[in-house]
Amino acid sequence: MESFEMIMLIDFYGQLLTENQLACLDMYYNDDMSYAEIADELDISRQGVFDFVKRGRMALEEYEEKLGLVKRFIETKEQIAAVQSDLKKIDGSRLSSEDSELLHNITETLDGISSGL
């Protein structure tokens, strides 16, 4: 699994992990620290860090397999982007002022939704 995908899983499901699993995964993926650096920081062995990362990664993958929140999030963002792209293709000069205003409001609403995701 790529780092970006793991970071997404941490963002979505990280609070479901143990404190040590979350700390180790966060330092490993978000802070780009090595097992040795994490071990020094948390005052545990490198093997302990390895175990926390491995178990945490497995738990995150299991959560995603069962719940699919990250997959749905990505699909929703892609669908919104497709709608935004289609809306930009509409020739506003041919629309009535009411329809043009409606198109503008829809576009702004989608932009707000997209930036909030």
Question: Model confidence at 33, in pLDDT bands (50, 70, 90)?
Answer: very high
pLDDT tens digit sequence for 79-115: 999 999 999 898 888 889 999 999 999 999 999 998 8
DSSP symbols for the chain: --HHHHHHHHHHHGGGS-HHHHHHHIIIIIS---HHHHHHHHTS-HHHHHHHHHHHHHHHHHHHHHH-HHHHHHHHHHHHHHHHHHHHTS-GGGS-HHHHHHHHHHHHHHHHHHHH-
Is residue 59 domain-shared with residue 103, that is, in the same domain?
Answer: no
Is residue 63 domain-shared with residue 81, that is, in the same domain?
Answer: no
Show the domain range for 22. 3-67
Is residue 19 domain-shared with residue 49, that is, in the same domain?
Answer: yes
Is residue 47 domain-shared with residue 11, that is, in the same domain?
Answer: yes
Is residue 56 domain-shared with residue 111, that is, in the same domain?
Answer: no
